[in-house]
Structure 1
Amino acid sequence: MNIFKQLIKSIYSPKDIASFRTQGIGKTIGYVFFLTLLSVIPSIYFLSASILNGVNSLETSIEKDFPNFVIENGKLQSDEEVPITINNKEVTIIFDSNGIVKKEEILNSENTIAFLEDEFIFVSGGQQQGYAYSMLGDVSLDKETTMNLLSEANSWLLVIISIMAILIYLFTVSIRFIEISILALLGLLIVRILQRGLEYRFIWRMAAYSVTLSTVFFTIMGALQTTVPNGALISWLIGIIMLMLSIKEIPHKKDEQIS
């Protein structure tokens, strides 16, 4: 059975998930990489779009709406006494050199770029990044220099986005393997309760396919940019239920040992 058929079967068929327990571990690992790739596509897409739109909007806003400023000694300095907020369709841009806008307000927003008193914050697609101006060391930036840097950055955006996408994917894969391993440990308890003779390696394979339903569901929600309350808890419950139903499909033999 190819990987696409396994994906479809794993959404609704505990019986098929149970049958996958005897396949090679390499095929199961490949399936986890494939499933994770599907799951990160929406977040990578929206993050990439936000970065591209954000940089273009930021370049325009700095030129037209920002006052003259300089970043030196780890601080943003200007003659502007009140924060400037620019609301575009793609992104909200904030300029505040007086410490009036709090970091917590930015982190709770969506698609926001903020020049705060002592750091630059970028929030997009659920991802948050903050960079203290002190990281510049003795280098100082003024309005004109910042605009020149943004113009040069446009030519590197695709490379930067590609690197970010790879890092997000690798991080998500690592988390997915940890989740599957923990789910398989819970599967050992289920196996004892249901009195099925299964070793951990077979349970791990089944656990890898048991997370398919929740992964597909949350991928769709991510594509629709819809937040699911208590998403992590729901994901774990779906995985546990699918694994339990799959284990129940194993023949009831107390001392069964599959080779």
Structure 2
Amino acid sequence: MTEPLIELKGVSKSFGGNIILDEVDLTIYRGEALGVIGPSGTGKSTILRIIAGLTPSDGGEIYIQGEKRKGLIEDAADPIGIGMVFQQAALFDSLTVAENVGFLLHQHSKLSQQEIRQLVEEKLEMVGLPGICDRYPAQLSGGMRKRVSFARAIMSNPHNPKDNPEVLLYDEPTAGLDPIASTVIEDLVRQLQSVEGGCSTYVMVTHQDSTIRRTADRVVFLYKGKVQWQGHVTEIDTTDNPLVRQFFSASINGPIQAIG
């Protein structure tokens, strides 16, 4: 493969005395769909926040397009745009859909209100939600709120292409959704990978079987702070790795310790 778009080398993170990530190595290549999976509490969301530059690591190095990151995203801009879709959509309840999707442009661009509105409408059309600009998050279903958060994550500034996201980080985007709504979201993730104005590279954190199989090409399995297995999604059902086999069989017997 070519040079990694994002690379984590020996990244560690603890909260109190609890080791979440223990010298993790991870690579993300341009154009790939990477799934990060594993039991709850194994550091999947923490890895996303570290990649996004929202949470500092305790040790190790992070490279963005070959350039070593120093500090957090607020300390210095990365050479590429990194967008994040949070598990709970994280919309501002007091703002309309249009204001949510165009939030960063309103705050950090010199675009006119009319230009921002047009861009917002284009992104909402891309996620299958035309005509809802003036609604509020409370008026939307859970699946619709997730799609609005997708539109916000892929929002681009035509006057400053460096800000446009080249990588999307999805944190459990199908959590709490029924199977049909989950399928809509999974299809949208793949659609946004290939459509112009979307984002060709993404990392998907999830523990839902259908989401893993339908949205990931390469899969990394985290457990006890380390990468325990990685391979193509088609290898899930043929690997002899006991952690992977137990995880996908949902068995309480095996090396993964059941909690609760």
TM-score normalized with structure 2 length: 0.23
Higher alpha-carbon Rg = 1
More strand by percentage: 2
TM-score normalized with structure 1 length: 0.23
More helix by percentage: 1
